[in-house]
Amino acid sequence: AEPGKFVEAIVAPEFTPDAFRILTTKPKWKENVRLLSVGAVEPGRGAAQWRQIDGGMLCQTADDLPDEPHDWKVVSEKQPSESLRRDLEFAWAACRHVKSNAIVLVRDGALVGVGAGQMSRVDSVEIALKKAGDRARGAVLASDAFFPFDDSIGPAAAAGVAAVIQPGGSRRDDEVIAACNRLGMPMIFTSRRHFRH
């Protein structure tokens, strides 16, 4: 606060004894200032996000919960290597920030392709693969929501994608898992989606 300004209350996680003494002895404040110690301030989780559209509003819950890799489940026969798993974690984290239907490709810790905002998940996969070009070979693929069909797995494998991470939850999860098994691709289910409008 600026010297000479009247302050009624100061809110902080905590006050050191020196800060308390200084703040309560300022000439204009003295004992009238209220010091409120509130402890560690955690960011709000799951708040509503509103977006105005023609004719109305869209509301969605903020996607701000921490990722929990220890809760993820490898659903394929093949397990991802440690290096693929690191790329899968990064791809999943990056996917959260891409407009749905989001597809993210990561290779060796670098984002190499993104498909965003399409009406079709297949189109998002095609765009991400095109953007990545040859860098798709050996990359991992993250999808912000489940694959409703296995029609994205074949093109990803043909481009050299090495592993997939997605929430799961489709009525056809078994078909998608079977496609990954046929093609020798590890796949992880996170059980939580990163859908962003």
Residue 30 has a CB neighbour count (10 Å cut-off) of 10
- The answer to whether residue 59 is domain-embedded is no
CATH number at residue 161: 3.40.140.20
- Could you tell me if 64 and 194 are in contact, meaning their C-beta atoms sit under 8 angstroms apart? no
pLDDT grade, residue 133 (50/70/90)? very high
Residue 176, domain extent: 67-189
Whether the predicted pLDDT of 47 surpasses 70 = no
- The answer to whether residue 23 is domain-embedded is no
Residue 2: the pLDDT is 57
Number of domains in the chain: 1
- The answer to whether residue 31 is domain-embedded is no
Residue 86: the pLDDT is 97
What pTM was computed for the model? 0.71
Whether the predicted pLDDT of 35 surpasses 70 = yes
pLDDT grade, residue 118 (50/70/90)? confident
Whether the predicted pLDDT of 3 surpasses 60 = no
- The answer to whether residue 27 is domain-embedded is no
- The answer to whether residue 17 is domain-embedded is no
Question: In Å, what is the CA distance from 125 to each residue of 117, 143, 173?
Answer: 11, 9, 18
pLDDT grade, residue 197 (50/70/90)? low
pLDDT above 90 covers a percentage of the chain that reads 53
pLDDT grade, residue 178 (50/70/90)? very high
